[in-house]
Structure 1
């Protein structure tokens, strides 16, 4: 599995997390694994990398770790790339 932030699966995860039904509550590792037909460890790796890059933030819902987009950080990164960084 490539370890770059532009991996297609990671982009699809970010897009899915922008949808209204997942944006606010966030998603669990198991939900990502099911949605993208990934083994749980692969889903976890994708989520950890996106979190380490600051593109996702974590929180708890019903005692489970959930991942949500960090819209402020995503906007910052977008601006950097638009400037040709």
Structure 2
């Protein structure tokens, strides 16, 4: 169950169309060029997300950080690269909370 503070963070994260779009894209990680099936568990490289979004690297990283802080995505470091994937378990919990609240 999400607390009121956590719900506010989620709503803030989802208030931006570009962040919402990133979350949608991450639902289908194999849609990113060069993505390998064995990489799906780790996620999509931030540079691939940035390229698709057409945003600067700092803006893309900030948007993904906001989604991570809201509990919607998980970040994994591999060397100098950061990969993001949706946190499906937390998203399911969020949906349960919303059903209970509304």
TM-score greater than 0.5 by the shorter chain: yes
Q: Normalising to structure 1: TM-score of the pair?
A: 0.81
Query: Whose Rg is larger?
Result: 2
Deviates more, 1:45-54 or 1:3-12: 3-12
1:58 deviates by 1.6
1:5 and 2:22 aligned: no
1:26 deviates by 1.3
Q: Which runs of 4+ in 1 moved over 4 A?
A: none
RMSD: 2.1
Equivalent residue for 2:36? none
Gaps of 5+ in 2: 1-10, 33-38
1:19 and 2:28 aligned: yes
Q: 1:52 aligns with which of 50, 69, 83?
A: 69
Gaps of 5+ in 1: none
State the distance in 1 between where 2:45 and 2:29 align: 16
**Quick check: which one's helix share is greater?**
2
**Preserved CA contact (<8 Å) 2:26 2:85:** yes
Q: Looking at both structures, which has the greater relative contact order when contacts are Cα pairs under 8 Å and sequence separation is at least 6? A: 2
